[in-house]
Amino acid sequence: MNPPINPVPTLGGVPAETQSVQALVELGRSLGKPIVHPGPGGEPFLLVPKGYEVKDISAHAPPTHIRTQVNLTEPASFIAYVNRFKTDETLIFATVTDSSASLRAVLDYHGPTDIPSRLAHVATFACQPTNEWQQWVKANGNKFDQVGFATWLEEHQDLIVSPPGADLLKFMETLEGKNHVRFNSAVRLQSGGAALQYDEDVELQGRVNTEAGKMVLPNFIEAGIEPFQGVGKYKVRARLKYRIESRKLSLWFETVAMHRIVRDAVAGVLQQVQEKTGIQPLAGAIY
């Protein structure tokens, strides 16, 4: 008589031994499957069998969020970028100094909930002085001789709006043509300008005679200059200054309220950003 055959234990109709093997296979598979960390934008990681280490695989996985800092050079580009990626939580921070301003938009800033955001997507903009403004600032208060000042005016005459073209040209020609005269004194005119008295040696028929002359200087010069890239031109007014030493003439200009020009240009940028993005820049910085 043959001994009875023990039935194979089953679970749900599947042999228990087979189910155990399948469970081990599934466990092995899970150890090689990315597990996403809880929370918004969590980075994927792997549990590796050896010691059950945690391995960061974010460098090899599709990105879960934008992580970049973009530097823009003009207000219009900054506004366009912010408008493309902004959310309800986007904030813009503004740092303003006496000579410039910088904006920093954190496009993925924290929301009003307790869940923090990454603050990884950032756009920045710093007011970039134009070459014309830098040259004007460099020359401001710098003393020139007659020819040097005439040369500077000639090189920048496209910026000068007053005196007008013809008067400016005549003024430059006078400065260059009378660079050997000997100045005596100056008389203030009702217009605010000055009449400079000078002696000039004139040779006529082999004889040298001294003749008196007069050079009229305007009180102000005005220019139209764009202080920063993309902000448009501003009216720049400067007082024309002179000094007579050892009968030689020195000339320079001093810009009227230069800090106000910068302040107005910066205020214009902030207003433009607020109007076109719908986000009010906050005074301060984030690090």
* Per-run averaged pLDDT (10 residues), the chain, 287 residues: 55 57 62 53 58 65 78 94 95 91 93 82 95 96 93 93 88 88 86 86 77 89 94 95 91 95 93 96 85
CA distance 100 to 263: 8
**The pLDDT value given to residue 27:** 61
What is the tens place of the pLDDT at every residue in 90-111? 999 999 988 889 999 999 998 8
Max Cα separation, the chain? 159
Hey, which residues does 283 pair with through a beta bridge?
Answer: 94
**The pLDDT value given to residue 43:** 60
Determine which helix (DSSP H) or strand (DSSP E) holds 227, and give its type and residue range: none
How high is the mean pLDDT of the chain? Answer: 84
Rounded to 10 deg, the angle between the 165-177 and 146-155 helix axes is 150
- Taking residue 119's Cβ as centre, other Cβ atoms within 10 Å add up to 14
Is this structure's pTM higher than 0.75? no
Determine which helix (DSSP H) or strand (DSSP E) holds 191, and give its type and residue range: none
Q: Is 133 within 8 Å of 225 (Cβ atoms)? A: yes
Q: Give the Å distances, CA to CA, from 13 to 6, 144, 220.
A: 16, 104, 103
CA distance 217 to 48: 85
CA distance 235 to 220: 13
**The pLDDT value given to residue 39:** 47
**The pLDDT value given to residue 227:** 95
**The pLDDT value given to residue 149:** 93
